[in-house]
Amino acid sequence: MKRYFKLLVFMVAFALLGSFTVKAADINLWHSSTLYKIEKRGVLRVGLNAGYMPFEMRSKTGRIIGFDVDIAKLMAKAMGVKLKLINTDWDGIIPSLITGKFDIIISGMTITQKRNLKVNFANPYFVVGQTILLNKKWAGKVKSYKDLNSPKFTITVMLGTTGDFAAKRFMPKAKIEEFQDEENAVMQVVQGRADAFVYDKPYNTIFYETKGKGKLVFLDKPFTYEPLGWAINKGDPDFLNWLNNFLRQIKHDGTYDRLYKKWFVNVKDWIKKVQ
């Protein structure tokens, strides 16, 4: 009987020790979370590349505005912290996240398997696809991306974007010219120095409506499927959980729809601020 009692006491003690160990591990995981550090710091640092209408762009006064910026503001408010936007070159945005220059990338980033090897993504918050802005001299002659797969065509893209990847994948025979920003890339086509610009539909739609009519042909049917996601560093389940719950909330309480209408429907209300 005494032996049984000692065994029972040992088993209870072992179970309690295991419970304490698990709780300690959970606390250590939480203290290493980016979300915990944001709360302690009192600032949410967001990395983005201001040039992707209407997700993030600079106004005439130099302020960074857009759909992603409004989401970041709501995110910081929900956390009870201040917001700091850190504008970063696109080709260095993931390395900057990994080295801790900011906490999250909110910049219209397409979720790809290659990027997912380096960072984790929250659930997709938007879906886009690649489209083409074409020099008007090719009107009626070029009807899809397939027609551009020839050495006689020069295609411009923004370096390191999925437009860059798509052009190289679907139009490998064409001459691909890479630029650091969208504006320079698409203006090559407007000015006749290139034949086509490959980029996401939201940007191409707005550019065509505001600057491209009469100068460009818009092949507006997307030829790729690209979900966009917020990127964070790996090994951070608490932050990932918070972001997915935040996204679920704003998509069901009307907030997301209100922002979508503001930036993607009522374009005339803000376009003069950036042009």
CA distance 146 to 148: 5
Q: Which one of 1.10.530.10, 3.40.190.10, 3.30.70.260, 3.30.300.30 gives the CATH number of domain 35-127+227-273?
A: 3.40.190.10
CA distance 93 to 140: 39
Q: For residue 73, is it left (φ>0), alpha (ψ between -120 and 50) or beta?
A: alpha
Contact assessment for residue 41 and residue 76, using Cβ atoms and an 8 Å cutoff = no
Query: What is residue 3's predicted lDDT score, i.e. its pLDDT?
Result: 53
CA distance 176 to 168: 7
Cis (ω within 30 of 0) for the bond into 54? Answer: yes
Q: What tokens were used for 119?
A: 């960072």
Residue ranges in the chain whose pLDDT is less than 70: 1-27
Q: What tokens were used for 46?
A: 């967001």
Query: What is residue 28's predicted lDDT score, i.e. its pLDDT?
Result: 73
Query: What is residue 9's predicted lDDT score, i.e. its pLDDT?
Result: 47
CA distance 107 to 53: 10
Query: What is residue 23's predicted lDDT score, i.e. its pLDDT?
Result: 52
Contact assessment for residue 47 and residue 104, using Cβ atoms and an 8 Å cutoff = yes
DSSP notation for 186-204: HHHHHTTS-SEEEEEHHHH
Does the fold of domain 130-224 match that of domain 35-127+227-273?
yes
**Superfamily of domain 130-224, CATH level 4:** Periplasmic binding protein-like II (3.40.190.10)
The strand ranges marked E within the chain are 43-48, 57-58, 64-65, 82-87, 104-105, 120-121, 126-128, 130-135, 154-158, 175-179, 196-200, 216-219, 226-228, 231-232
Q: Where are the domains of the chain?
A: 35-127+227-273, 130-224
Q: For residue 207, is it left (φ>0), alpha (ψ between -120 and 50) or beta?
A: alpha
| pLDDT one-digit tens code per residue, 149-191 | 999 999 999 999 999 999 999 999 999 999 999 999 999 999 9
CA distance 86 to 7: 59
